[in-house]
Amino acid sequence: MNKVILMLVALLITVNASSQDKTYATVEFDVAKQKTDSLFIWSIESEIVLLKILKKDKNGVFKDTVTVKPTMHLLSYTKNSSSYHTIYLANGFDLKISLDINKWGEPMQFSGRGSDENNLFQEVPNSFPSDSIFKDDKNFRTEFDKARTLSLSLIEGKKLNPEFYTEIKKQIEDQYLRIETQHQFQVAQNKLNTTVSPNFSFINYKGGQSMLGDFKGKYVYIDIWATWCAPCIREIPYLKKMEELYQGKNIAFLSISSDQYSDIEKWKKMIAAKSMSGVQLLQDDRVTTAFSNYFKVDTIPRFILIDPKGVIIDSNTLRPSDPLLIEKLDGLLNK
């Protein structure tokens, strides 16, 4: 009897080891409301590279094996897609995935070997807190430590792929490092509020130079941007709407470009092409200004709000795309 038990244990160990030692992963996708005969799996290292094309079988299921490095991969419905699902794959996985092609962005359903890792990959980002809980600087450290501990607890004490554990833990630590860095930046910026802004003299798109002092007596909303900055360009339509909404009101909208002086023609062409309004200014990158030093503009877009006396109201204020900006400006202008 003992001999039989030992043989069964040895067999189970062999089966388990063989599944772990596979040089490939098996993936099976059950796609609801599918409109395609192919799915595309991509590796993401220094660039996105097509790794495998999965074809639909007669039962409408996409199933195949793929040899992978243990890390995050991308899934798309078309070869030229710019939208992807993210999945974690490692050799030895036998992963079954259910998704609805018409419910992009909703959680996928996982089962089989590798499901724990992928379910966690969907769950962990939801544990990251919103910025609002960190507004109170006095309680920042308490709230930060509590949130970080909660996120890390999701991956502790579980039988996870070792490479996945290392990767997801790094992602958690990186996220909380970003939160801490952003908080430190915001604390430093808040210290500028209620101080007088330094003046500047920058090139005006319409000719000559313009200074902050030219707008004394008005509220001033400043957008620091550049022609090469995609997030900056996404804000342009919203900024134009704000300028239209507050036309004739006691507020000036200044867009200060961080483009190099050698790119002045590129700057002018973009202003014309996008019919940008407001006051368009260009910092001369050959000169380090007291203005840029004072506000420590390391990333753009950046938005600054100054009162009619030149005093800083908010050194890192809301973007034009934020609906709360209208409420903030209305509150100032209707005092």
**pLDDT at residue number 19:** 44
Which DSSP helix (H) or strand (E) runs through 72?
strand 71-76
Long-range contacts (CB closer than 8 Å, 24 or more residues apart) made by 49-52: 50/79
What is the pLDDT, as a whole number, of residue 143?
85
At 133 the pLDDT is 67
pLDDT digit string, tens, across residues 52-72? 999 988 888 899 999 998 888
Instruction: State the pLDDT at residue 224.
Output: 94
Band of the pLDDT at 132, cuts 50, 70, 90? low
As a three-state string, the secondary structure of 191-209 is CCCCCECCCCEEEECCCCE
Q: What is the mean pLDDT of residues 169-190?
A: 87
Phi-psi region of 28 (alpha: psi -120 to 50; beta: other; left: phi over 0): beta
pLDDT 10s digits, 272-300: 999 999 999 998 765 556 787 888 887 89
Helix and strand element counts for the chain (H, E): 8, 15
Name the average pLDDT for the chain.
85
Q: State residue 8's pLDDT score.
A: 35
pLDDT in tens, 28-48: 988 876 677 888 999 987 788
Strand pairing category for 25-32 and 94-100: parallel
Of the chain, the percentage scoring pLDDT greater than 90 comes to 50
Tell which residue, 323, 258, 268, has the closest CA to residue 289.
Answer: 258
What does the pLDDT average to over 77-81?
84
CB atoms within 10 A of CB 146: 13
Q: Strands 219-225, 251-257: parallel, antiparallel or unpaired by DSSP?
A: parallel
Quick one: which of 40, 33, 32, 36 has its CA closest to 85? Answer: 40
